[in-house]
Structure 1
């Protein structure tokens, strides 16, 4: 695994999930857009300080930069979800978590009912 390329790809994925251009990410992170392009390609060996700026711009937990999943569709869906909630307050996230739990519980009940019908 080439870590600079993997991190660069992950930054690109998060940027796209947010609907940003490289220029928009650069502005939010106080970087030059050509530098962001080099980071995304894995051409630049970025410092921890620069990585911290990018993470802060995305408003995601630092671990998200290092979440390398094989299933690109699942990762994309997770990224979109993370971006949707990242700018919310703690209270709003708690409400969204409760709603998600209720939806998931309803989905599990529906799946159990389908299983009973096919038995």
Structure 2
């Protein structure tokens, strides 16, 4: 039976892989980890070593901290400080394509510009 942490890490790896639009097969090739092992990691059925985790992180081209961002942003607005909110935004945008990030930036500028005019 796997621990909650192993399951969370596996789910997070699956989410990050899908955000990159990688298949398990592609992540397997890129990381040098067998596809069955990738599948087991994502389902929380394998106790992933630090060495294997590092291979996955490198293959996904992410910062190590991204694997440990478990908390969704649902409800974070009610209980977070400014830095946590900024980190939540960063987490939302980290796996997105550059065009999507640019769109969000333009929208944020427009919303903030409108907000500033209303003050």
TM-score with structure 1 setting the length: 0.69
Rounded to whole Å, the distance in 1 between the matches of 2:113 and 2:29 is 46
- Structure 1 counterpart of 2:69, from 49, 53, 67: 67
How many residues align? The count is 100
1:71 Cα deviation after fit: 3.3
- Structure 1 counterpart of 2:47, from 23, 45, 48: 45
| Number of the residue aligned with 1:56 | 58
SS at match of 1:50: helix
SS at match of 1:52: helix
RMSD: 3.0
| Number of the residue aligned with 2:28 | 26
| Structure 1 unaligned blocks of 5 or more | 86-95
Q: What CA deviation, in whole Å up to 9, does each residue of 1:68-109 have, x standing for no partner?
A: 12237xx7x945x32336xxxxxxxxxx89xx4x76444311
Rounded to whole Å, the distance in 1 between the matches of 2:63 and 2:40 is 22
TM-score with structure 2 setting the length: 0.69
| Structure 2 unaligned blocks of 5 or more | 75-87
Is contact 2:57-2:64 (8 Å) kept? Answer: yes
| Number of the residue aligned with 2:7 | 5
**Structure having the larger proportion of residues in helix:** 1
- Structure 2 counterpart of 1:14, from 13, 16, 25: 16
